[in-house]
Structure 1
Amino acid sequence: MHASTAEALPQPAIRLQSDALRLLLLTLFVLSGFSALIYQSIWTHYLGLMLGHAAYAQTLVLIMFMGGMALGSWWVSRHTLQIRRLVGCYAAVEAAIGLLGLIFHPLFNAVANWNLEQALPAIGSPGLAATWQWASAAALIAPQTVLLGATFPLIAAGVLRAFPGAGTSAQLGGLYFTNGIGAALGALAATFLLLPAVGMQGALQVAGVMNLLLAAATAWTSGALREGSQPLPGAADANEPSIAPSAELPRLRRALLWATFGSSAASFGYEIGWVRLLNQALGTTLHGFELMLASFIAGLALGGLWVQRRGPRIGDPVRYAGYVQVAMGVAALLSVPVLAGSYAWAGWLVGSLTPSDGGYTLYSLATAFTAMVVMLPAAFFAGMTLPLFTAALLREGGSERAVGQVYAANTLGAIAGVVLAVHLLVPQIGVVLSLLVAATVDVLIGLVLLRRFGPPEWTFGSGLAALGSLGVLTLVLVAGLPNPLHQAAGVFRSGLNPARLGELVYFKDGSTATISVRAQGDGLNIATNGKPDAGMNPLHKAPSPDEITMLMLGSLPLAAHPAPRKIALIGWGSGLSTHTVLGSRRPERVDTIEIEPAMIEGARSFHPRNVRAYKDPRSHIRIEDARKFLAVQGEAYDVIVSEPSNPWVSGVSSLFTQEFYRLVRRQLSTDGVLVQWIHTYEMSDALLAQMLAALIQQFPNSEVYQANAGDLVVLAHKGRRHGLNAHPWEEPELASELQRVGLGSRNDLEARRLGGPALLRTFVRQFNAPIHSDFWPTVALQAPAERFKRQTALTMGRAALAGAPLLRVLDCREPLAEAEPVLQVSGADSVGIAYRQARLARRALLSRERDAQLPELNPSLATDIDALLAQRSGLVRFDARQAQAQLNTLALATFGQLDRPGLQELWNEAFWGRGTEWQPDQATQTLLRLFGTVSRSDWAAAHAAAQSLVSGPNSGLQASARDLVLTLGLLSLAAQGDLSGASAWHDRHRQHYIHPEWRGLADFTLTWARHEPRCQPAK
């Protein structure tokens, strides 16, 4: 605006235009905070890929974010008075931030790849390599963080200079509020909107474009304000006459900068403690962390809003800030009993909400509400301190530099708080006591301010503040601390049931997680932040499902690799997998990589079951992140066993991406194998398919085994596949341990093999699964909801174990012959159970003397066999509905597990035709003919029988057998290579399935038939 125009405008119009420009700047600063938290959130993901564990990445991003901001604000504080166009300079800084945001992704890829391929192998030393990783990661975000630090003092000083009539406290409070609200919204948008929609690179591009648009709008505003033509102000609150710096200013500046430093350190100590404790109640998820971060920032913003509204009426901002500091410490103290009660609250939520999308939405809202109840009061007071401290300095005659100085001290304090909390206080005294120490620091800061800058004697207010704080601290220590058993219970998964809490054997707050060991019944389980990682039962009891998985993870590579000399295991858990590997004399070196030292310490509770992991000289424990450890290794491994935590745990999903598997492949020897654990519980087929898509992209020659009802084990070959050998059973002690969990011989591993590369490819194709990538973390985003909804990925196991012999037809997968024993020693062993029950059912039916010889037969299956025998012998009258249901049950129990001779003997039509009293109706006869032709692989006849049974509503086929008949009809066409006929059958009958899981199996069958060559059985 030109001066002549301004002079021509009446005073109200000038004031109106000034208010509009000030509102525009505040609105733009909302967007600045929004984009800044997008950067912080997304940088955490990027740097986690370079540094490893999310906790380390969050620490570095926070340190660099705050450190860079401190440096930027410090620089501005030294040059503010020399900058004539502060808002214009702010616009230039925003433009630079945007440009750097747009190029961050390719720059990160270039640095990360160069480190991996050139720098780290050349460095060699793990310590120096780790230092280089940290330094290069810090250098990537340093330029933007320094620029981000310059934004607040520039815009704050610019607003104070441009609008001197609005009041210092109100101006600063408004800026803190608008920037904070934008930051809270940015944290939520990054995780809940941008990452799912556009991935990590897209999110940075959105932030970068936003910065450029923001820069353009701010540059226009700078011109409208006629920056550069205004005189530079000296200081002070605009509501007061300009004053010279007072004699008290140097002492006040020192005191307030130290108070800002200490208060910020305490605040970030709170945040670390709150997040750790809330993780134990609500789950360690990406969504949960961002909700907590947004709650904390929102509290800071509301504190700024309070100062904006009341600032001009605060007569003594230093004394006011002293009371605010005490109130902040007291609020933090009171957050501890609130946290102690959150475990029961979270447990009630889990038990009350429906496991559905709507239920998860409510759970997320409840998570946000819980985080706000815990964090918002103390964060609200924390948000008041910076504008109060800054206003106090300006009122005493401080210059614009005070804004940058206070902001720099605040960010330096944040760095100190994070470092002290994560690396000193929490590991030494625990999370809860660390939080109480931080709260006490805030109270002491407040009391010092009240005594040093208040009346020389204790006043009623200051005395009440001191005594009240001491009383609250005492009350919390006596009656308000969380129950460690509740912290270890994993209430976010199973609720809080006092009868199932058990007894706490070990509990320690580590630097990255809280590790606990509980005795429940006769068994022990070890957990991370309440999430169980491994469990064992005593030797005189049946093994737990985890024991089967861990011994299989340790024994499978010993049987699959001819010379497994050097082995790495990712994840310690109970130490049983490492113990199993060391049961063989063949490995020469076994490195186990674990991020949390407390896990190693806690797993000692399982002694002597894992003793080799600790005592064998070949065992080497590496306290490190797995990705970083593998990246710096120069020597290749023959075997890498990956057994991390569940993918929904924040930071863990990066161990299931194509980039991770590329790194693993690079670190394997020519004939090396990867053994990958992955669960099927609390996860959908579609999400499982994404992770398997990433694995088979790097390891196309892979096969999958089923350890128990909820665990899969993928054996991925870098080179050619070797047949399983008997090496694990050559060691008597190891052989005995394997026998106990049902792995008594090579047969037991072969029986648990679901299929090979074609099975995995078909599964991925069926769900049209994208390849899980570091830069599009769909698993971290989707898995928490699927865990809450208790989904289960069953398709792959059903394809191998369901009654329809899908993989026998599609993959030439023949079950083991009855002469080859298959152990079943645990109720969790689904494969062993299936084999055992099929063989028992065949013997029971053919011998007709089940009760005397076969007491282990499943009672439900036994009842159906008894009923069939009774009908066949004429003891009861034939009933078509019951007979077809019983025949269907028998088929489901036998088709996938009996060898060909056993099947043909069981489903011999002559056998079913004997007996003068057995007079089945036409549909039941056709059903028996269908089962007989399937057992003989007479697929043309099988299709004719299936077609007859589904040809019309009067065919006599009962609902109980419909799903199996429809699937066998489709399978018979696929077996004959009639792809068009199979597609037509599928289109015609897909909606006729009664149970949706059978529709999924039909989709699987047709997907296989369309993409994989037809199986040619051996003659």
Structure 2
Amino acid sequence: MADTSATMEASYMQPPRGIENDSFGSSQLKRHFLAVSACFALSGFAALVYQTAWMRQFAIVFGTAHLAVATVLAAYMAGLALGAYLIGRLMHRIRRPLLTYAVLEAGIATCALAIPWVLAGIRWLQVVILGGQAAPPDSAGFMQTAFYTSVAFIALAAPTAFMGATLPLLARYAVQRDQQVGPRIGLLYGLNTAGAVAGVILAGYLLVPNFGLFGTVLTGVAANFLVFLIASGLSRGAEAAQSVSNRTVKSASDANRAWRWMLPLIAVSGANAFYLEVLWSRLLNHVFGGTLIAFTTMLATFLVGIAIGGSVGGRFAKTKQRAGYTFALAQVAIAIGSLTTYLLIDTIVPTSADLAQSILMAAIIMLPSTIFIGATFPLAVRNVVIDERDATVGTARVYAWNTVGAIFGALLAGFYLIPALGFSLSAKASGLVSLLLAFASLLFLCDKMRTQLVSLGIAIIAVALFYDAPRPENLLRAAVNYGGKEVNEIFYAVGRSATVMVLDVDGRFEMRSDGLPESTIYRIGSPPSKHSQYWLTALPAIARPEADDLLMIGLGGGVALEALPDTLATIDVIEIEPEVVAANDALAELRRRNPFEDERIRLVINDARSALSLTSKTYDIIVSQPSHPWTAGASHLYTREFLQLAKSHMNDNGVFLQWINAQYVNEELLKTLAATMADVFSNVRLYQPLPNVLLFLGANGTLDIETEIVQSKSLAEFAHNDYRQVGIASAEDIASALMLDNDRLRLFAAGAIINTDNRNMLATHSLPRGDGMGAVGLRDLLRSRDALLHRDGTAIGHLGDQLDYGYIATQLVQTRFEQRAFELARTFNGSSVQYLIDGIGYASFGQSAQAQQAFAEAVRLDATDAAATFSLIKPYLGQIGTAQSYTRLEAAAAALPASALAVVRGWQAGQRGDWEMLRSLDAELADIRATDLWYPIGAKLRVDWRLAFAQSSTDSGYGQQGLELLDGVLAFYWNFDLYVLRAACAFVADKPQAFLESAWWASELVASKVDKAVEGKYAFSQAEYATTASRLLGLSREIERSGGAGGLSSRALQVLGMLNDTVHRMQQLAATN
């Protein structure tokens, strides 16, 4: 035994076989080392290619809840640490390290090829162990957490352990002399990281978008096998194998006591590095928008700094003492870099959406610190390693401790510290940790550093007491240009997966997630409106009036939950970010309706895909309105596999609704989403209630909403008030939003790429800057297949004159579809309907004379057209029955239907102040259909007499009745007179909030007309100028009088400012005209 030991020790001291003998010169040795270094760079390339793909593949199974993502990341890094630890323990048994390295690379490739089957097994096991729950579960359950942790580690243990073993293994080959420890380790570390930079850039910018996840993995596999071939070939020519006894290795390690301090220090340093990475990523998401490109760019920038630092740091790691001192200096530099860049971050926010500017910002923020972070690794290795004999074990130990620290840093940062401390305190805490690490390094690793210790101590105290960086407001709001609007913060929180803000922007609440718009929420007292988010629940509920159970994916601002029909029994809402729920809670007393007051709603905090996978519950309606399709938390909710999962949780006659915004997609992506919906559901429609809002409605049963409403009158009988409050009261309201029926949607989507988990086009090709098609591009794209314009053979074509196209035109014009209304008129070429619609269009632009000519022509062509007749005589209602009237006017009025005649008589009674007469007409006025063009005037008359009674009797109940009547109209007809009338009713009903909001909406409507007038798209008449300005000033005076001793509230001042500004702009416009 002694002889064997002596032989092994003697062998250890001899030059490595094939390196310093005559047949293998130093120049050839250098070439071999360069080749090995290139291999190791290629290994880093493959590793980051895998990480980019695997994080997305695992998210498909585990979901994107922060717990699941963090679990996968921790398992990945734990495997790296395990590999480094094991290779350090087993190194004395390895005779040919280069060949072993080659085999490990082949093992990584083999494991990567097996990952899809491993994930399929995990998915099956997940359902077996955790599935079948009665309702979608939260993500924080113990069993779910334990399952994710264990299977993620098992799935990734082999390939990541192989990765973690490679650097210590190559240290055995590369380090032949003591002087090479720092430089060679630093060089290998830097080259490996440089390869990682190339891997993440290639994967994020090219491979994932164009070849999908599996194609990306295959690229990594090819790189690994290439390394295997090169390294195995090199091992035959120059294998730096060394026979080192276990005793010798142990002796070399134990002789160095520095590791007792350095290893904990490098662990904390690793934790702080990943803490900073999470912090920077969270901050820069507000600039980059959470895209794959954002992830790629931020990670690549981080790694560039690490690569530079690793390579340069090794040059300063010549001796243990110097390495320890330089390690301390590096920590000081990290602190200075991170604290300074956070102070300056708000001054370098890009002024445009240019990617180059964003990349430059990321470099300015990250590189000053990451270069020094990268330098710490070779410095730590040099400090731990005594000489070349200890290089492998020392490298393994440092790598393992550093990686374990990184695990804790990433988990603590994402789960606890950053959400608890916020951004500013997190930056301060990280800087203090770096300074404390520097202090500890000088104290325990260096001799005679009293002056430096005192200086550092003072610096630590100074930072702790005086460093007070403000929150980077410009950065947090970088995603939106508010254009000088008044902006006030209502809610702010740094959540686990997103930063959530609620801002009061010009009178409305806007919820933002990492700066991206999520929802607009109206204030308490606001009038009803045709809010696009109301359609998310209203449209499928109208399609399935018998529905009992609804699932909403994505809470957002909760607006879609404000108008749920009473017929629904249960409403489950899945939201991934708890702070979104908290933001809604913060608005509970400020918003028009608080959805959480509805006891049917059950909130689930989880990733929707994961939650659905674990429940057996089925639904009649599933509404998917997650965040934008490029964001990490939502991208996997737009794929075929998710739609199939949702479909499996739908009852037999269930419906599925998918939201998308046209600003963020181009023609290719819209066709892809349409094709994906059509691939999963047998019947699909596309609705467009507002210019940029697209709603795909899918079902395996029938979808014939308009026909069912016309034939059964179901909408008038079912949840009547619920839908009137959101602007839906008839088949015409649905038909006006129908863009593509099932047949035309399939023609539109023919040949498009299906959006899949493997190749998620919407995740990689969406347009987060909002420079997609938009309303105009969408109109041009869909015009040739528009179901409303080309009715023959479509879902509404057979309804013919059962639909009121005059009313449809008013809704189109009101919702800014003027061009579509014009084209609708052309489909009735030469008929009274064409001229009726043209007249409605002219009137919307303030062109009264042209409107009257069009209405007159419509009546000439069809004297029985009541809508055209009423529109023609509407400006003269006050003259009918008076001396100013004339025969043709009287004749036209006499030809009107009874409900329209009731409006004429009511108008005359109102002019006379005969409120009792007007009151006697109330029942007739109440019978007017919402689609009749005289409906808003009938509603106004019903309110007029109530308002008069309220003012004369001081009975506020009449004012409340008037409010309720108007709230049943304003979602259909956005009318200035009705908003002013609502303000009056609110005043007498003692509803100050409703008064202020009515005044605000009245002013905003006028302001939009002024904007159109400035653009030459609206013409104010002199009478309209005078009456409108007078009423706005009247509202202003009433607000000023309401102040009392306590003064005006902030909202009252805001509304007052809006009113006065609008009047001022009108006066300027009148002066220029």
Fold-level match, TM-score > 0.5? Answer: yes
User: How big is the shift at 1:828?
Assistant: 6.9
Compared CA separation, residues 791 and 101, structure 1 to 2 (3 A): farther
Secondary structure, aligned partner of 1:23: helix
Match of 2:428 in 1: 436
Superposed, which structure 2 residues align to 1:530-929 within 5 Å? 530-538=515-523, 548-581=531-564, 584-607=565-588, 609=591, 611=593, 613-721=595-703, 723=705, 724=708, 735-736=720-721, 738-765=723-750, 768-784=751-767, 787-788=770-771, 794-795=777-778, 799=782, 806-809=789-792, 811=794, 813-814=796-797, 817-818=803-804, 821-822=807-808, 829-830=815-816, 857-859=843-845
Query: Sequence identity, in percent?
Result: 24
Partner of 1:522: 507
When residues 836 and 822 of structure 1 are mapped into structure 2, their CA distance, relative to the original with a 3 A threshold, is: farther
How far has the Cα of 1:3 moved from its partner? 11
Tell me the secondary structure at the aligned position of residue 649 of structure 1.
coil
How many residues were matched structurally? 835
1:574-613: CA deviation from partner (whole Å, max 9, x where unpaired): 11212322xx222111100000111011123443557553
2:553/2:625 contact within 8 Å kept = yes
Query: Closer, same or farther in 2 for the Cα pair 1:820/1:369, shift >3 Å?
Result: closer
Match of 1:458 among 432, 450, 474: 450
Question: Aligned AA for 1:776?
Answer: R
> Is the 1:508–1:516 Cα contact (8 Å) retained in structure 2?
yes
Match of 2:352 in 1: 349
Q: C-alpha distance in 2, partners of 1:168/1:410?
A: 18
1:350-384 Cα distance to aligned partner (Å, 9 max, x none): 3xxxxxxxxxxxx2232222111111111111111
1:81 partner letter: H
Query: Is 2:45 the counterpart of 1:34?
Result: yes
* Deviation, structure 1 residue 136: 3.2
1:419 to 411, 433, 437: 411
1:182 alignment partner, SS class: helix
AA partner of residue 471 (structure 2): P
CA gap 1:300/1:788 in 2 versus in 1, 3 angstroms = farther
Whether 1:382 aligns to 2:373 is: yes
Q: Deviations over 1:653-682 (max 9, x none)?
A: 211110000001101111111122121123
Whether contact under 8 Å (1:503, 1:518) holds in the other structure is: yes
Shift of 1:474: 5.7
Q: 2:471 aligns with which of 475, 479, 482?
A: 482
Asked if the contact 1:572/1:592 (under 8 Å) is kept, the reply is yes
Distance of 1:123 and 1:158 partners within structure 2: 54
CA contact (8 A) 1:568 1:590 kept: yes
Structure 1 residues 322, 782: CA separation in 2 closer, same or farther (over 3 Å shift)?
A: same
**Cα displacement (A) at 1:302:** 0.7
Look up the match of 1:79. 90
Residue matched to 2:364: 373
Q: Residue 235 of structure 2 aligns with which residue?
A: 222
1:208 matches 2:209: no
Shift of 1:550: 1.6
Deviation per CA, 1:851-891: give whole Å up to 9, x if none: 9x979813277676689999x9xxxxxxxxxxxxxxxxx9x
Q: What RMSD over aligned residues (CA atoms) do the two structures have, in Å?
A: 3.9
User: Structure 1 residues 716, 845: closer, same or farther in 2, change over 3 A?
Assistant: closer
Alpha carbons 1:755, 1:813 under 8 Å: kept: no
Say if 1:844 and 1:865, in contact at 8 Å, map to a contact too.
Answer: no
CA distance in structure 2 between the partners assigned to 1:335 and 1:674 by the alignment: 47
Higher mean displacement: 30-39 or 219-228: 219-228
Q: Does 1:393 align with 2:393?
A: no
Change (3 A) 1:727 1:558: farther
1:592-649 deviation per Cα after TM superposition (whole angstroms, max 9, x unaligned) = 0000111011123443557553122211000111001111111211111111112132
Write out per-residue CA displacement over residues 550-578 of structure 1, whole angstroms, 9 at most, x where no aligned residue.
Answer: 21112122211142111110011111212
- C-alpha distance 164-537 of structure 1, shift in aligned 2 (>3 A): same
The C-alpha deviation readout for 1:54-99, integer Å capped at 9, x for no partner, is: 7555423321221100111111111222222222211111110011
Moved more, 133-142 or 682-691: 133-142
User: What is the identity, as a one-letter code, of the residue corresponding to 2:509?
Assistant: L
Checking the alignment, whether the CA contact within 8 Å between 2:682 and 2:701 is kept in structure 1 is no
Aligned 1:62-141 pairs, distance under 5 A: 62-112=73-123, 114-115=124-125, 118-121=128-131, 126=137, 127=141, 128-129=143-144, 131-141=146-156
Conservation of the 8 A alpha-carbon contact between 2:744 and 2:785: no
Distance 2:560 2:855 in 1: 46
Q: Is the 8 A contact 2:842 2:850 kept in 1?
A: no
- Tell me, what secondary structure is at the counterpart of 1:809? coil
SS at match of 2:490: strand
Greater alpha carbon shift after TM alignment, 252-261 vs 28-37? 252-261
Deviations 1:730-777 (A, max 9, x none): 57xx74464344223343123322232112101112xx3100111012
Matches within 5 A, 1:498-509: 499-500=484-485, 502-509=487-494
Give the aligned partner of residue 921 of structure 1: none
Separation (CA, whole Å) in 1 of partners of 2:391 and 2:320: 20
Deviations 1:129-153 (A, max 9, x none): 5643554344322221111111111
1:398/1:537 Cα in 2 relative to 1: closer, same or farther (>3 Å)?
A: same
Per the normalisation by structure 2, the TM-score is 0.71
Aligned-residue offset at 1:419: 1.0
Whether the 8 Å contact between 1:742 and 1:825 is mirrored in structure 2 is: no
**Contact 1:677–1:712 (CA under 8 A) maintained in structure 2:** yes
Q: Is contact 1:638–1:673 with CA below 8 Å preserved after alignment?
A: yes
- In 2, distance between residues paired with 1:6 and 1:77? 23
Residue of structure 1 in register with 2:1036 after alignment:
none
CA distance in 2, matches of 1:805, 1:737: 26
- Specify whether residues 232 and 712 from structure 1 end up closer, same or farther in structure 2 by C-alpha distance, changes over 3 A only: same
Q: Does 1:182 align with 2:195?
A: yes
| Aligned pair partner of 1:296 in 295, 299, 302 | 302
Distance 2:776 2:207 in 1: 27
Provide the C-alpha distance between the structure 2 equivalents of 1:37 and 1:557, rounded to a whole number of angstroms.
43
Q: How far 1:316 moved relative to its partner?
A: 2.3
Tell me which moved more, 388-397 or 702-711: 388-397
- Establish whether residue 326 from structure 1 lines up as the match of residue 329 from structure 2: no
State how far apart, in whole Å, the 1-side matches of 2:246 and 2:89 are.
Answer: 15
Determine the C-alpha separation between the residues in 2 that align with 1:7 and 1:597: 63
Deviation at 1:778, TM superposition (A): 1.8
CA–CA separation in structure 2 for the residues paired with 1:123 and 1:850:
57
1:924 corresponds in structure 2 to: none
Match of 1:671, SS? strand
Q: Does the CA contact (< 8 Å) of 2:684 and 2:741 recur in 1?
A: yes
> 1:182-215 deviations in whole A, cap 9, x for unaligned?
1111111111121123211011111112111101
Question: C-alpha displacement at 1:272, in angstroms?
Answer: 0.6
The residue type paired with residue 435 of structure 1 is A
Structure 1 stretch 38-47 or stretch 302-311: which is displaced more? Answer: 302-311
What is the SS of the residue equivalent to 1:563? coil
Deviation, 1:824, is 5.5
400 and 736 in structure 1: CA distance in 2 versus 1, 3 angstrom threshold: same
* Structure 1 counterpart of 2:181, from 140, 144, 168: 168
Corresponding position of 2:208: 195
Distance 1:606 1:187 in 2: 41
Question: What does residue range 230-269 of structure 1 map to in structure 2 within 5 Å?
Answer: 249-250=256-257, 252-269=258-275
- The alignment status of 1:512 with 2:518, answered yes or no, reads no
* Counterpart secondary structure, 2:665: coil
Question: Is the Cα–Cα contact under 8 Å of residues 662 and 778 in structure 2 kept in the other structure?
Answer: no
